[in-house]
Structure formats: structure tokens, C-alpha cells
Amino acid sequence: MRRLISLLCGFTLALTTLLHATPASADSSTPVVFVHGFMGKGGQWNDMRAALIDAGHPEDRLHVFSYDWLRSNTTIAGQLADHVQGVRERHGVERVHLVTHSMGGLSSRYYIKNLGGTETVDQWVSIGGPNNGTDIANLCISLITPCAEMRHGSAFLNDLNSGDPTPGPVGYTTLRSPCDLVISPVDSTSLPGANNIRTGCVEHISMMWNGEVIDHVRDIVG
């Protein structure tokens, strides 16, 4: 009888430890929200998501924010704010990481600077972002609002970059490629106060699934 009681106690202790340990391990991973760019789509993040899952990130904590890229970046930023709030509530966390490509860097920066994102974002990553504008936006008609916003010296960018362009306790990282023909000049991606990284020769869209870029992102989000 004593042996049976001992075995039952041991089993109960092991089960209790397992039940408490599993959620604690999962909760230690900060959710990541991916934001695509102009003319982009959520599926472009598949390779990067798969790499993070292989590195140990829980799949349910890797979220893709998709949006209508014909809308203004201020409108997109408001939608991103709602999306991030939903992610925070779902996982019961204070902050998320934002990993962005191209124009996704602009709406996410607007969210951080003007819509309370300094309190909800831990790490922000801009991959090939037109943070200071890009020449190619001049080839796009002005009636498309985000095209006008991405032009050098636009009112939107002047406001976004005024004062401190990297505000709050957020960790800021930019990744730029010397072979990116969409962001011109390529240094336009860099921001004062950010960790500005130059990658190898990678085409603009390919940066989303390039191994070197993925390695950088993996190091940043942990």
C-alpha cells in the first residue's frame, strides 16, 4: 500500500510539473507580426516564418498582417494598431516584435510614433524600407496615395522623420542591400538611432526569403 501511495504521489508531482512547465516555456516567446510592402501579400513571409519555426518559435506566435496597400500609410497604421492589440490580447503580452518589408516599414513606424506603438513594440525591423523615400515612387501616379507618400520630401515622410525618427524604448534595425533597385538610394532605408545593417547583394523582394536576412531577423527576435 505504501508503495502504491508513493507511486501515485510521484505521478501526481510529475504531472503537475509538466502542466505548469509547458505554458511557461511557450509564454517566453514574444509574438512576431510580419508586415508586407506595397503590392505585397502575406504569403511572401512563408519562408521566414518556416525558418523561425525551425529555430524554435511557436507557430501560433508568428502573425502575418495583410492589408490593402492602395490605402494611405496612416490608414494602414490604424489597422495595424488594431491587429497588434488583438495579438497582445490573444497571448496576454505587453509587447510584440514587428518585422516589415518595404512600405510596411512606413505604416509600422507611423503606428509606433503616433498611435502608441512605443508602449507595445519591442523590436522593429525594416527590410528594404523607403524610410527616407525612394526615386522609383516618382514613376507611380500621384492619385495612388502611398506612392505620393514614398517620394523623397513628401509631407508624410517629413512628418514621420521629424524630431526623433526612432522614438521610445523600441529596438530599431534596418536592413539594406546594395543590389536593391526599388529603394533608391539604398541608404534611404537607414535611420538615425537604428542599427543599420548592409546585407550582401540581394534583390528587393528576395530579401524576404534570403538566408542572410533571415539570420539577422532570427538573431533580433531571439
The pLDDT value given to residue 141: 79
The stretch 61-83 carries a mean pLDDT of 97
Cα 63 to Cα 76: distance, rounded to the nearest angstrom: 16
pLDDT at 17: 39
Residue-level pLDDT at 15? 36
Q: What is the pLDDT of residue 210?
A: 98
- Does this model's pTM top 0.85? yes
**CA 117 to CA 63: how far, in whole Å?**
17
pLDDT for 128 beyond 80? yes
Query: Residue 102: helix, strand or coil by DSSP?
Result: coil
User: What fold is seen in the domain 31-221?
Assistant: Rossmann fold (3.40.50)
Q: Which of 17-31, 72-86, 155-169, 207-221 has the lowest mean pLDDT?
A: 17-31
Per-residue pLDDT at 23? 38
164-215 per-position pLDDT tens digit: 999 999 999 999 999 999 999 999 999 999 999 999 999 999 999 999 999 9
Categorize the per-residue pLDDT at 145 as very low, low, confident or very high, splitting at 50, 70 and 90.
very high
Alpha-carbon distance of 43 to 12, in angstroms, equals 44
Closest CA to 175 of 183, 164, 166: 183
pLDDT score recorded for residue 217: 98
| Per-residue pLDDT at 5 | 39
Q: Residue 209 and residue 67: Cα distance in Å, rounded?
A: 20
Q: What is the pLDDT of residues 33-70, one digit of tens each?
A: 999 999 999 999 999 999 999 999 999 999 999 999 99
CA angle 60, 35, 139 (to 5 degrees): 160
Q: Give the domain ranges of the chain.
A: 1-29, 31-221
Spatial separation of the C-alpha atoms in residues 95 and 163, rounded to whole Å: 24
Arithmetic mean of pLDDT over the chain: 90
Mean pLDDT, residues 29-36? 97
